[in-house]
């Protein structure tokens, strides 16, 4: 089988031909049909991600496919369609994953949708409902609103009854966010982002996947009692937040590392994913896939991700191994 692997930290990964090992213990062996890309994949290549595996390793944190074999303690039957949050191993044609990491997909969900679903929707749901306790009628500001996680925050914010202000760069991305349900849109390249947000009534919750100057400006537009969600730093810069504002205005700052809940409280992730899948089946969520690439073009896809050239999630699709 083929796998897209990192053999040296800081060096470009490449496709390798390797033999798939047999599944052991509670592992399910999955014929991978699609794998979603994340900024964490870029950080792993550079050795900057908090959970970077030991080399060599196969990139790809989240995937979807069909069970083709099982270890002696795995109860998933061959043919079961599963979404898997693996942490690694998704950019390959076959992989072995613990059963606890596998969730049976809704019948109506495609493999590409499932591969684009877990981390982005899971991050936004746990952040907004569990961490920030977003309430109906509150105002949510989403920074990076046209990106893979940003669009899910717009959708989930609306599902929770919030008024959503989407912040992104350029007319095309703002229109994508508006199509996802945003009530208001603001171009982050405005000269006065703080002023623009305050003119719209300020923010009760800020969902910041960008960081940098935009995060700093938006923080200053938080209303008293507001909550600031630290999701990521796609801008490449960690914002410097005025903590005296947090004190005076009773602002709470919440970090959210979705994958960390595997150790912190996995029941939250399980409950969240079941709720999100039920919302999908009810037609409330619509995964936005910005582009699909074959396995041979992973390097190109990662560069597009790095340059933020597309909206939504980027997904790598695999050939049907049964057809080979």
Note the pLDDT of residue 324: 39
What CATH number labels 122-259? 3.40.50.720
165 has a pLDDT exceeding 60:
yes
Cα 217 from Cα 222, distance rounded (Å): 10
Band the pLDDT of 323: cuts 50, 70, 90. Answer: very low
SS3 helix, strand, coil % of the chain, rounded to 5? 35, 30, 40
Give this prediction's pTM.
0.90
Q: What is the mean pLDDT of residues 204-233?
A: 97
Average pLDDT for 272-276:
94
pLDDT score at 281 = 93
- Residues forming a β-bridge with 291: 314
DSSP string for residues in 248-274: HTT-EEEE--GGGHHHH-HHHHHHHHH
Q: Which residue has the higher pLDDT, 111 or 190?
A: 111
Q: Give the confidence band of 36 by pLDDT, cuts at 50, 70, 90.
A: very high
Other beta carbons within 10 angstroms of residue 16's beta carbon come to 14
Residue 128's CB is within 10 A of a number of other CB atoms, namely 25
Would you state the CATH architecture of domain 2-117+287-323? Alpha-Beta Complex (3.90)
Region 275-302: mean pLDDT is: 95
Tell me the β-bridge partners of 4.
15
Which of the four pLDDT bands, split at 50, 70 and 90, describes residue 321?
A: very low
Mean pLDDT of 98-123: 95
Does 322 score more than 80 pLDDT? no
Q: Residue range 129-136: average pLDDT?
A: 98
Compute the distance between CA of residue 237 and CA of residue 227 in angstroms, rounded to an integer: 20
Q: Give the torsion sign (CA, 78, 83, 87, 91).
A: positive
**Per-residue confidence (pLDDT) for residue 311, from 0 to 100:** 85
Mean pLDDT of 234-238: 92
Confidence at residue 33, expressed as pLDDT on a 0 to 100 scale: 98
Q: What would the DSSP string read from start to end of 131-165?
A: IS---TT-EEEEETTTBHHHHHHHHHHHHTT-EEE
What is the chain's mean pLDDT, rounded?
95
pLDDT band per the 50, 70, 90 thresholds, residue 268: very high
For the segment 138-162, what is each residue's pLDDT rounded down to a tens digit?
999 999 999 989 999 999 999 999 9
The model's confidence at residue 76, banded by pLDDT at 50, 70 and 90, is very high
Average pLDDT over residues 179-199: 96
Round to whole Å and give the CA distance between 36 and 91: 9
Output the pLDDT for position 53.
95
> Percent of the chain, pLDDT > 70?
99
**Structure confidence at residue 309 (pLDDT):** 87
Q: For residue 63, which of 35, 88, 38, 37 has the smallest C-alpha distance?
A: 35
Domain ranges for the chain: 2-117+287-323, 122-259
In this chain, the answer to whether the domains covering 2-117+287-323 and 122-259 adopt an identical fold is no
């Amino acid at each position: 089988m083929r796998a897209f692997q990192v053999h040296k930290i800081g060096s470009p990964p490449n496709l390798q031909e390797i033999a798939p090992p047999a599944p052991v213990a509670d592992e399910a062996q999955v014929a991978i049909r699609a794998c979603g890309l994340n900024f964490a994949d870029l950080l792993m290549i550079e050795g900057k991600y908090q959970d970077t595996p030991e080399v060599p390793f196969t990139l790809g944190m989240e995937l979807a496919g069909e069970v083709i074999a099982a270890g002696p303690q795995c109860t998933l039957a061959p043919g079961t369609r599963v979404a898997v949050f693996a942490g690694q191993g998704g950019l390959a044609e076959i992989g072995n994953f613990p059963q606890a990491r596998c969730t049976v997909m809704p019948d109506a969900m495609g493999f590409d949708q499932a591969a684009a679903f877990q981390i982005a929707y899971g991050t936004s749901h746990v952040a907004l409902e569990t961490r920030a306790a977003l309430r109906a009628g509150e105002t949510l500001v989403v920074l990076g609103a046209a990106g893979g996680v940003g669009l899910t925050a717009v959708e989930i914010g609306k599902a929770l009854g919030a008024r959503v202000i989407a912040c992104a760069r350029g007319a095309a991305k703002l229109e994508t966010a508006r199509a996802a349900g945003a009530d208001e849109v603001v171009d982050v390249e405005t000269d006065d982002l703080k002023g623009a947000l305050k003119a719209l009534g300020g923010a009760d919750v800020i969902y910041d996947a960008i960081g940098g100057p935009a995060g700093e400006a938006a923080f200053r537009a938080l209303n008293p009692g507001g909550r600031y969600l630290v999701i990521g730093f796609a801008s490449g810069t960690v914002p410097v937040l005025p903590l005296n504002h947090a004190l005076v205005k009773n602002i709470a700052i919440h970090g959210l590392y979705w994958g960390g809940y595997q150790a912190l409280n996995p029941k939250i992730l399980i409950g969240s994913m079941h709720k999100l899948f039920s919302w999908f089946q009810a037609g409330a969520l619509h995964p936005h896939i910005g582009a699909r690439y074959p396995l041979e073009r992973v390097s190109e896809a990662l560069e597009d991700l790095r340059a933020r050239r597309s909206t939504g999630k980027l997904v790598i699709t695999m050939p049907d191994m049964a057809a080979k």
